[in-house]
Amino acid sequence: MSETEEPNESLPQQMRSFEEACRDANLKLTHQRLEIYRELASATDHPSAETLHRRLQKAMPTLSLDTVYRTLATFEQHHLIKKVQTVDSQARYEARMIQHHHLICDTCKEIMDFYWTSFDASSVPEDIQAWGSIKNKNVTLYGTCRKCQAMKKGGNPA
């Protein structure tokens, strides 16, 4: 039952960890950086730089797309966020740094996080050790989410 339970961290808590990490890394706490991080940390959909920029422009009309790209790249270099592996042309990001896995819907392309503690605890096949040392294990599940299944069955009344 706790196999796939979400380990929770509140946004304010996450922002404090972030600010501390920035100070440790000698990154100045600018308004732009704080807002870009807050927006990414609040999102559940693994947004691209452009998506984040669009969402932030309402509150920060002068924010440039380049700053979003540059800031995300800086965060990634300091391991404050991660680039998500996709086959899309646009890179997508996530602020969730704890061990988790991804579910991808082949229809709406949405990426969901999930947790799988028994997999995390298990070891990989022995032969793999001949290749080198493993630091991280990630599972990606592909399928169709309930929403898209329903749309296909009922037909899309667009």
Partner DNA sequence: CTTGGAGATAAGAATAATTCTTACGGTGAT
Partner DNA sequence: ATCACCGTAAGAATTATTCTTATCTCCAAG
User: Which of DNA, its own copies, none is residue 3 near (CB under 5 to 8 Å by kind)?
Assistant: its own copies
Site for its own copies in 14-43 (CB under 8 A): none
Residue 73 within binding range of its own copies, rule CB under 8 A? no
Nearer to its own copies, 15 or 148 (CB): 148
Residues 6+ apart with CB under 8 A from 147: 105, 108
Residues 6+ apart with CB under 8 A from 82: 76, 93, 94, 96, 97
> For the purposes of burial, counting CB atoms within 10 Å of the CB of 126, is it exposed (0-12), middle (13-18) or buried (19 or more)?
exposed
User: Which of DNA, its own copies, none is residue 4 near (CB under 5 to 8 Å by kind)?
Assistant: its own copies
Per-residue x/- track, 114-133, its own copies (CB under 8 A): x-x-x-----xxxxx-xxxx
CB–CB of 108/152 below 8 Å?
A: no
Give the three-class secondary structure for 84: strand
Nearer to DNA, 31 or 146 (CB): 31
Nearer to DNA, 54 or 152 (CB): 54
